Amino acid sequence: MPGSLPANFETSWPKDVGIIAMEVYFPSQYVDQTELEEFDGVGAGKYTIGLGQAKMGFCSDREDINSLCLTVVQRLMERNGLSYDSIGRLEVGTETIIDKSKSVKTVIMQLFEESGNTDVEGIDTTNACYGGTAALFNAVNWVESSSWDGRYALVVAGDIAVYATGSARPTGGAGAVAMLVGPNAPLVFDRGLRGTHMQHAYDFYKPDMVSEYPVVDGKLSIQCYLSALDRCYSVYRNKIHAQWQREGTDKRFSLEDFGFMVFHSPYCKLVQKSLARLMLNDFLSHPCPDTEKGPYSGLEAFRDVKPEETYFDRDVEKAFLKASSHMFEQKTKASLLVSNQNGNMYTPSVYGCLASVLAQHTPQQLAGQRIGVFSYGSGFAATLYSIRVSQDATPGSVLDKLVMSLHDLPARLDSRKKVSPAVFAENMKLREETHHLANYIPQGSVDELFPGTSYLTRVDEKHRRLYARRSLNDDEPLEAGVVSSTATTEHIPSPVKKMPRIPATTAGPEAVAISNGDH
């Protein structure tokens, strides 16, 4: 029929397309949320218990969205021994806009100059916190398309989340995540298993072009998030049921089928409520749940509730938080490491959660697991999809390399400097007063930055931004400019630079001459 795929189409796809390597960057300083409660004059526990937040990372005026993305890309390339000519697509997802025309991606391209590689597709994608996921999907789709030339795709999600003084300010944060995408990956995207929901709402938006601060309707934002979660999960389950039926498997999908479940995390408490929400969905869709014993024990009173009427129902929330508590400990709690310690990073938030899971488990614990991923961006756009972890957890495998590259994440979080709420407030005031200023030299201390961090040196009279990079060695002087990778050994071998535009269908996916380790 018109529009249908030929029978042999799937044989032309590269094998196991997904995330090969990841890198996470967060600022070198943070404010303690307990101290911030006292400074703001709110009740003890409002931020730490009510929101589930412990620390919040923030940037001085030395860092902007360009510097964050420059830093995380250089870290990923250097730590994995990658050459810049091995990248054929570079996608950026961000909502931190400092120029209405020039993309962050084009700023990152200065890192490619030494390699001479200018043949790099992709630009920025923007829709609140969903931009990173859209960028990631673009990269995966490129590798699986006739446009693919055999090189890797690189995805960068980065944001600086800041709010005006008030109740929303403790839900801020900042950071960036870079992801290398290609075939034969340790984290493979489940093909055809995406549940998406998109709708119009003014729950969180940034209409003021001269301010970093958003306009937020907090209650509506929570309702949008939870309603999108309901609908995405319903679509995802329908698709996986259909897939299973085609494979001859007659079973129901539930949360138990996810080894781990990660969510976009505006604040940690909402994530815990979201897992409980998915359990509510499983409970309501089950034809005959056992309310006498097991996870649904004692929930019979909620059998006939309507999901759209329960977004702010305290009884439903409390009951399913309790019922899902064990599952939360097993499947989701570990994902909140970066979110709890650094705050909301916007587009990289859900990928910081994914990295947190990888950083706190062994390759053997991760091998073969299906990881559910829920990404939400206000306005609003959302997708729930899944990733399958490679079965190969042997030393030196691509999974082992990925996990080992992230094992220092907790130590890096612990190495940051704590500053007082008063200093944090001063930094926020400085950012507010200097936002979009021309002919400006930042005042923040470069010495406080992590080694290897790119930073803003000045904004000239034409609003052109200039950057330098702090030395990777604390004993060396600051470097005069942004430099490219100096790594000499390759952790992940580069693919052949020029490849056929689509793998040969006769030989199958193995005909593609690309190497990503032993997997």
**Active-site residue set:** 95, 129, 264
The binding site for CoA consists of 221, 269, 273
Contact 40, 167 (CB under 8 A): no
Contact 64, 453 (CB under 8 A): no
Q: How far is CA 392 from CA 249, 398, 466, in A?
A: 25, 8, 44
CA distance 377 to 94: 11
CA distance 273 to 278: 9
Residue 233: which residues within 8 A CB-CB, separation 6 or more? Answer: 195, 278, 281, 374, 384
**412, burial (CB in 10 Å: exposed 0-12, middle 13-18, buried 19+):** middle
CA distance 424 to 455: 18
- Helices (H), ranges, 100-182: 104-108, 131-143
What phi and psi, each to the nearest 5 degrees, are found at residue 447? -60, -25
Strands 260-263 and 215-216, sheet pairing:
unpaired
Contact 355, 299 (CB under 8 A): no
The binding site consists of 221, 269, 273
Backbone CA torsion sign across 406, 408, 411, 417: negative
Contact 18, 358 (CB under 8 A): no
Local structure of 257: helix, strand or coil: helix
Give the DSSP H/E element, type plus range, for residue 425: helix 421-434
Q: Which of 35, 33, 27, 32 is nearest to 57 (CA)?
A: 27
Tokens 């001085």 identify what position? 60
Contact 345, 96 (CB under 8 A): no
CA distance 450 to 454: 9
Strands 124-125 and 152-161, sheet pairing:
unpaired
Backbone CA torsion sign across 244, 245, 248, 253: positive
Strands 454-459 and 465-469, sheet pairing:
antiparallel
Q: Which two tokens stand for residue 100?
A: 């209405």
Q: How far is CA 9 from CA 13, 145, 182, 189, in A?
A: 7, 11, 19, 18
Tokens 């796809």 identify what position? 13
